[in-house]
Amino acid sequence: MADYDLHYVEVGSKKYGWYAPPNAYKEIAGQLGVKISKTSVKDVEKRGRVPLPRVRITTDKGKSYLRYCAPSKTDELVRTGMTGNYNGSSITNVSFVQG
């Protein structure tokens, strides 16, 4: 998967990952608790084994994106939201997605 990077979150002592394009989380990984690696990471399990929280990020250009986040970041995201830019637009809203 040369065009994709490994993205993962830590849930307790476990790491759950998925592959996504390099820019999918580039500007927002830290706020979502997502780590990115261009190589394999030891002990990462496929994300399908555990339902990870997802957020919808809305920008000032009216576009929205669904992204996974680390469970440890959910309280902070609810309290403070997200700031900064994503895909060349300012983030205006973040909300949690069920299912």
Q: Which pLDDT value is given to residue 30?
A: 93
Query: Residue 1 above 60 pLDDT?
Result: no
Tell me, what's the pLDDT at 89?
93
What are 53-76's pLDDT values in tens digits?
A: 999 999 999 999 999 999 999 888
Of the candidates 87, 51, 44, which has an alpha carbon nearest to the alpha carbon of residue 68?
A: 51
At 23-49, the pLDDT tens digits run 899 899 999 999 998 777 778 877 766
Quick one: pLDDT at residue 41?
A: 78
pLDDT, position 2: 59
What global pTM score does this model have? 0.85
Q: 89 with 60: CB under 8 angstroms?
A: yes
β-bridge mates for residue 59, sequence order? 91
In DSSP notation, 57-77 reads EEETTS-EEEEE--GGGHHHH
92 or 41, which is more confident? 92
